Chain A
Amino acid sequence: MSADGNLPVVGADGLRGDLRLVADMIEAGSRVLDVGCGDGELLAHLAQHKGVDGRGMELSQSGVNACVRHGLSVIQGDADHDLKDYPSDSFDYVVLSQTLQATRQPRRVIEHLVRIGRRAIVSFPNFGHWRIRLRLLLNGRMPVTPVLAHAWYETPNIHLCTILDFIALCEELGVVIERSVTLDRSGLPYRLNPRGRLANLMAEQALFLLRRAGPAA
């Protein structure tokens, strides 16, 4: 369900840049649920290199079938409807990569992520990026960028937010941000304070490691 699959740069091991950073956040041997797992790139990597017990959920039938064909445990489903079935604390990590902005109820989805997983890893495109702001300001048209490449009438990205918006929602939900990384369009990290106004202007994507309030499990 990766709503915007055209992030071009891949790392030396063939993993998409932002997924490499996600993979680095995940401890070896843990249980991982990848929501919107696409063709299973991250799950396959985690199984092979980190001995992870991985599960996936994917909206597109072709994605699900590709995953199952490769021996991954993946079901057809979507973040809005199917997360409620999972029991609390059933995974060490729940990953939602480049999908939050395509959900109908991002707030509910985040609540489920931190309920189901001891940690949640969420990445999304930053709508506060200067290029987006400038296009809207100068052209007066809905911005189309390499990261958000759809016209307004056909975009699956119905709930876009800026990095500061996301941080505000986490505070409202009492969700603890353990780590945050801001990225350029190819998934390489910026050396900026991720919670600052500059990052909100410069970064094209952001990646957060979350957990629900209370002592770390």
Chain B
Amino acid sequence: MPSSPSDLAPSRSPPGAEAAARPGYRLVVEEPLALDCGISFGPYTIAYQTYGRLNAARSNAVLVCHALTGDQYVAEPHPVTGKPGWWETMVGAGKVLDTERYFLICANVLGGCMGSSGPMESDPATGKPWGLSFPVITVADMVRAQTRLIDHLGIETLFCVIGGSMGGMQVLQWAASYPERVFAAVPIATAARHSAQNIAFHEVGRQAIMADPDWCQGNYLERGVRPERGLAVARMAAHITYLSEQALHRKFGRNLQDRSALTYGFDADFQVENYLRHQGITFVERFDANSYLYITRACDYFDLAAEYGGALANAFRGTRTRFCSISFTSDWLYPTSENRAIVHALNAVAANVSFVEIATDKGHDAFLLDEPEFFATLRGFLDGCARHRGLETP
């Protein structure tokens, strides 16, 4: 493992190179999508993965919405890194999102870099990678694209739409824009709008990428290079926001990395430095820098209340969807207060909503980790919804 981002070999093949060998499905939608930026975009591709089986009534479909740097490989080894799926703790036979009971769908978001249309893919008009000529997309655009996939799969109403972080934003957008198609909605560790602090951290990441000479004004793929140092630094900064201070201290404290004394230099003396560098380096193996710009922008633009006259409650007026909002005590990226604001808006329209705050010191990342109380709560909520939906127990 290289010990710092600057050791990265710039010749590594981009994440899309072995696309043909990737598991999963691709849907090409011919009919253009009317994007929020005003552009009519299409045809476009949605890469997606499914787990479990759709029942005869088509009533057991669960749409999992992935977070900023997630993808459709929810519960299987990642085709690039070989690591376990990002939500294998949650998804599988007998698990909370039980593949014996539910039909799970997860699509790579529009603007992503794992097969769905995004800045890394080729613009059919030029045959070259889109780069910065890819239109700026929003969370609402991502969700619009997903509706085409759900149509294609012949599903009228999703049993549940679930996701954490940016995935939670998509859940909220689904529930607001297509309430009749969402029986249950589970927004986890998320917010109905990006705060100034959220935007600020994303801007640090984007600036890190754009400051890398190998970014080449976004045209790095044509030049045969990649802004790996910039992307790695973006990931390092973001990764700090995913952890709590307590968790960082518990894991690393001031422990030194493979040495017994300070070196009086700028090597990774501390374990926490080494850890962050490792996070940065492994991230660039699987993620595209321009995608990172586009997707962080989509999060920053997210402000659900603004779409509904400034009052978040208006986004949910008349909803019959059953909501379960979940936050984590040590999450300072999308704190409980932001999640509670969603609950208040739902209460204001007398929606059916449950809200739990899970006590943990694991920070924002807790939604990806093994948190028994989180799982037990979610299992109870889903079981209750399944009874109301008339889904058989497996």
A residues whose Cβ falls under 8 Å from a Cβ of B: 53, 55, 61, 64-65, 67-77, 82, 85-87, 90-91
Q: How many A-B residue pairs have CB under 8 A?
A: 66
CA distance A87 to B313 in the complex (A): 11
Return the contact of B376 from the options A69, A72, A73, A74 (Cβ within 8 A).
A69
Q: Do A85 and B354 have beta carbons less than 8 Å apart?
A: no
Given contacts A55-B352, A70-B380, 19 further A-B contacts (CB under 8 A): A61-B356, A61-B359, A65-B356, A65-B373, A65-B377, A68-B324, A69-B379, A69-B381, A70-B384, A71-B380, A71-B383, A71-B385, A72-B384, A73-B322, A73-B353, A74-B354, A75-B343, A76-B356, A85-B348
CA distance A205 to B287 in the complex (A): 64
Q: Does B350 contact A (CB under 8 A)?
A: yes
Return the contact of A68 from the options B347, B354, B359 (Cβ within 8 A).
B354
B residues whose Cβ falls under 8 Å from a Cβ of A: 322, 324-325, 343-344, 347-350, 352-359, 373, 376-377, 379-381, 383-385, 387
CA distance A67 to B358 in the complex (A): 14
Q: Do A75 and B353 have beta carbons less than 8 Å apart?
A: yes
Knowing A68-B381, A69-B380, say if A75 contacts B355 (CB, 8 Å). Answer: yes
Residues of A within 8 A of B376 (CB): 65, 69
Residues of B within 8 A of A82 (CB): 344, 347
Majority-rule SS of A interface residues: mixed
Q: Top 6 nearest A-B pairs by Cβ distance?
A: A71-B384, A69-B380, A90-B350, A75-B355, A85-B347, A68-B354
21 A-B pairs, CB-CB below 8 angstroms? Answer: A55-B352, A61-B357, A61-B359, A64-B354, A64-B355, A68-B324, A68-B354, A68-B380, A69-B380, A71-B383, A71-B385, A74-B354, A75-B343, A75-B354, A82-B344, A85-B348, A86-B347, A86-B348, A86-B350, A87-B349, A90-B350
CA distance A53 to B351 in the complex (A): 11
Specify the chain B residue showing the minimal Cβ separation from A71: B384
CA distance A27 to B60 in the complex (A): 33
Q: Smallest Cβ distance from B226 to chain A, in angstroms? A: 45
Residues of B within 8 A of A61 (CB): 356-357, 359
CA distance A90 to B353 in the complex (A): 14
Specify the chain B residue showing the minimal Cβ separation from A69: B380
Q: Do A75 and B377 have beta carbons less than 8 Å apart?
A: no
Q: Do B357 and A73 have beta carbons less than 8 Å apart?
A: no
Knowing A64-B356, A69-B377, say if A87 contacts B348 (CB, 8 Å). Answer: yes
Residues of B within 8 A of A86 (CB): 347-348, 350
Residues of A within 8 A of B347 (CB): 75, 82, 85-86
Residues of A within 8 A of B385 (CB): 71
Residues of A within 8 A of B357 (CB): 61, 76
Q: Do B353 and A68 have beta carbons less than 8 Å apart?
A: no
Q: Smallest Cβ distance from A32 to chain B, in angstroms? A: 12
Q: Do A68 and B377 have beta carbons less than 8 Å apart?
A: yes
Q: Smallest Cβ distance from B375 to chain A, in angstroms? A: 10
Residues of B within 8 A of A65 (CB): 356, 358, 373, 376-377
Residues of A within 8 A of B349 (CB): 87
Q: Smallest Cβ distance from A20 to chain B, in angstroms? A: 24
Q: Do A71 and B355 have beta carbons less than 8 Å apart?
A: no
Residues of A within 8 A of B359 (CB): 61
Scoring B347, B352, B377, B384 by chain A CB atoms within 10 A of each residue's CB, the highest score goes to B347
CA distance A91 to B347 in the complex (A): 12
Residues of B within 8 A of A87 (CB): 348-350
Q: Do A71 and B387 have beta carbons less than 8 Å apart?
A: yes
